[in-house]
Amino acid sequence: MALGPSPALASDTGKSYKPKIVSLDYCADQYVLALADRNQILALSQDADKGHSFHKDRALGLPKFHSTMAEVIALQPDVAVQSWRVTDRIENMITRIGTKLVVPKYGSDPEIVIGNVRLAGQRFDQKKRAATLIDNYRARLKNLRAVPRIPLRAAYVTPGGFTAGIETFVDEIIQLAGFSSYAASRGLVNWQALPMEDLLIDPPDLFIASFFDTSLATQSGWSIARHNRLYQMLQDIPTIYLPGRYLSCNGLFLVDAAERIRSYAIEKKIISYKSTLEVVHKK
């Protein structure tokens, strides 16, 4: 939700002390950076300021740690936030020292995201800030759902050559941005390799490429992203490069991603906006 459109949002008043917080992984970092005052943050994860962290700029200058139990005990936080990258028995261990553990619910559905923000706001003693963000999120989501649909099929592709089919949050983002899903039109379900044969037989109207801004060290030598023909298609067919930080935490930034895609589409003149949207892309 640009979870936290402004770090200057007013925090809740009426209490002189607010809980001190540590974050155990980079997706948990996003809730902390969006909602907490800087002086509430005792430590963030090692990835808080990396390229795949949506709020990386806000993490600059804040302490980081390795999310070990020994460090948590030493810091004695009031609240610890866990998303995914922690020990299975972390809750039992953390509660022994009097720290409350906040675990956002997994899922990309907007109501799940809203519920997670509300929960974090309560635990951080930042209910007012959370309410402001939720109102902003709902308004932007409503605006996206109201825009006219565009009869263009968008194919999502990663450096590993994977795409997002039906029942994925990326498929939902593509539709929220106003496009049709190329993967869905080809009957692809969930996460799977994007068939080069499909692209050649039935090319998409545009590509949405993501995570090409992060390290490609783990890219498979057999990935279609290394195929010369796909490289040429990315040059010939309109391509929107979406930074990986928009997608690295499941659907947490679903609205931000859809807005970014739509904005890029207008900027690249794939679509235009007058009184209504009209397709200007020519195959």
Mean of all residue pLDDT scores within the chain: 87
Residue 93 in tokens: 């261990």
| Structure-token match 């936080």, residue found | 77
Contact 161, 193 (CB under 8 A): yes
Domains of the chain, first to last: 21-142 (3.40.50.1980), 147-279 (3.40.50.1980)
Taking the C-alpha atoms of residue 84 and residue 185, their distance in angstroms, rounded to an integer, is 32
Phi-psi region of 54 (alpha: psi -120 to 50; beta: other; left: phi over 0): alpha
3-class secondary structure, 153: strand
Q: d(Cα 273, Cα 81) in Å, to the nearest integer?
A: 41
> Which tokens is 164 given?
């997002």
The CA radius of gyration of the chain, in Å to the nearest whole number, is 21
The neighbouring-strand residues paired with 192 are 163
**pLDDT for position 5:** 45
Band of pLDDT at residue 262, cut at 50, 70 and 90: very high
- pLDDT digits 0-9 by tens, 28-51: 999 999 999 999 999 999 999 998
pTM: 0.86
Helix (H) or strand (E) holding 182: helix 182-185
Is the pLDDT assigned to residue 8 strictly greater than 80?
Answer: no
Task: Report CA-CA distances (Å) from 234 to 67, 208, 220.
Answer: 40, 10, 19
Query: Per residue in 200-211, pLDDT tens?
Result: 999 999 999 988
